[in-house]
Amino acid sequence: MTYYLAIDLGAESGRAILGTLDNGRLQLEELHRFLNTPVRIPSGLYWDTFRLFHEIQQGLAVAGRDRKVPLSGIGVDTWGVDFGLVGRDGSLVANPMHYRDSRNDGMLEKTFAVVPREEIFAQTGIQFMQLNTLYQLYAMKLSGSPGLEAASRLLFMPDLFNYWLTGVQRNELTEVSTSQFYNPVQKRWATELFEALGLPVSILGEIVPPGTLLGPLLPQVAEYAGLDPVSVYATASHDTAAAVASVPAEGEDWVYISSGTWSLMGVELAEPIINERSLALNFTNEIGFGGRIRFLKNIAGLWLLQECRRAWAQEGTEYSYDDLTKMASEAAPFKALLHPDAFLHPGGMPERIASWCRSRGGSVPETPGEFARTIFESLALRYRQVLESLESVTGRRLKVVHIVGGGSRNRVLNQFVADATGRIVVAGPAEATAAGNLLVQAIGAGMLKDLAEARAVIRRSLPLSLYEPKPSEAWEKAYERFLKLPAA
């Protein structure tokens, strides 16, 4: 048996997941779970980075000091775009801010005033979102950030934690590719954008591919956790890249949805698609394991339900996700529709949804079940819209929808996706990100040959569910209504 540990950080929580690889099968066990709660102070919304690293060390200690597991590797994955800045002495000079912070408001327009939108896309092929790293950095420059002036190196979230684990500063490729200053055609930093915007090129470090061995745990970290100097790998450290690595698919006639706080929907390609059509449809060309292109679109996923649930809890009523899913299944269909991508900022989500629907002359959800059903139906319709766009750009007929990640447990949403798209849905694995993280470590260590072998391990090891489509006239009419909705 060979043991690997995945540190998987999401926008709501983090986990330390133990992976046991034995005779071509993977077993997963959660060793440690913790909340990931951002902190708002007068200067903005921040990730609680030092506490997150403390929790990472706690996860290592469960594996080492408590369980005495002889680990062969450790890998960290997180969400994309966010970063810390490190000074010449190795200290953190700018704590990572949350991508939903309001400093990013209006930064697209301010950036385009210097570098045209078309030029940025031509160099990077990345979907335009105000939360992208490029706009966060430009916001720092325009505000005269002392952290930016003092910075020696930019480290994305997993790069920063890898540095604190090993002392090695590297930028992992899948995470780099989310920044909107990486050129996927020339396979290098798009330094021309930095220079045009007056950003310091010197903070850009060495890029390494997923599966790269960074080094052993630092002695003080290993001692704290009761571990030997275990190897730390730069796994597929962008959580979507890790999740896509674990999609249990074969052939090319499939589309994936990594379903969680965000829904990342796309296909794998050998080369990026950077042209007027992909620009007009605002698709993104991110990098996956083995240099594959994750041609996808970011969709505001179950974030809407998470925020509704948080708002109701603040009002004194706690609903579990199972409660809300059950209530959604019992609510009347298609009472209201919304565009999921219209809701970026946190706070007051039920009222914001109601106001959005009301201002556009539509019906308004009233009960928690109606809110949940509205979100699920709207997501399913948005997936159909993106699916049709993917087919038009790639020229592929996509017959199967693979849903992975935490959202794959939602049987109501999965069936809605099958019904809305008219495609077979294969749901699972639910722990896709952790599984992909672990398997990329195993490839890096030489335990597995390649991505095809890793996906075969998933098919043998983890439970999957199949949903047959049940298309109807009601779904067709709802889609007609959805296509008329504004995005904001």
Where residue 174 sits, what CATH number does that domain have? Answer: 3.30.420.40
Last residue of a domain, one of 176, 211, 239: 239
Note whether 210 and 314 are same-domain residues: no
Note whether 233 and 258 are same-domain residues: no
- The confidence score (pLDDT) of residue 488 equals 60
Where are the extended beta strands (E) located within 142-195?
Answer: 153-156, 171-172, 182-183, 188-189
Residues 178-222: tens digit of each pLDDT: 999 999 999 999 999 999 999 999 999 999 999 999 999 999 999
Note whether 363 and 346 are same-domain residues: yes
Q: Quote the number of domains for the chain.
A: 2
What's the rounded mean pLDDT across residues 276-287? 96
Note whether 159 and 268 are same-domain residues: no
Catalytic-role residue among 77, 82, 239, 419: 239
Note whether 235 and 251 are same-domain residues: no
Enter the pTM of the model.
Answer: 0.92
In a domain, 439, yes or no: no
Contacts of 450 (CB under 8 A, 6+ apart): 290, 443
Last residue of a domain, one of 239, 257, 285: 239
Encoded tokens for 461: 């090891």
Active-site annotation holds for 239: yes
Note whether 203 and 260 are same-domain residues: no
- The confidence score (pLDDT) of residue 107 equals 98
Residues 104-156: tens digit of each pLDDT: 999 999 999 999 999 999 999 999 999 999 999 999 999 999 999 999 999 99
Q: Residue 298 sits in which domain range? A: 247-428+449-488
**CA-based nearest residue to 272, from 79, 126, 389:** 126
The average confidence (pLDDT) of the chain is 97
Say if CB 7 and CB 14 are below 8 A apart. Answer: yes
- For residue 94, CA distances in Å to 156, 167, 202 come to 12, 18, 16
Question: Rounded to a whole number, what is the largest CA-CA distance in the chain?
Answer: 64
Note whether 364 and 267 are same-domain residues: yes
Encoded tokens for 282: 């605002």
What's the rounded mean pLDDT across residues 55-76? 98
Note whether 230 and 252 are same-domain residues: no
Note whether 232 and 260 are same-domain residues: no
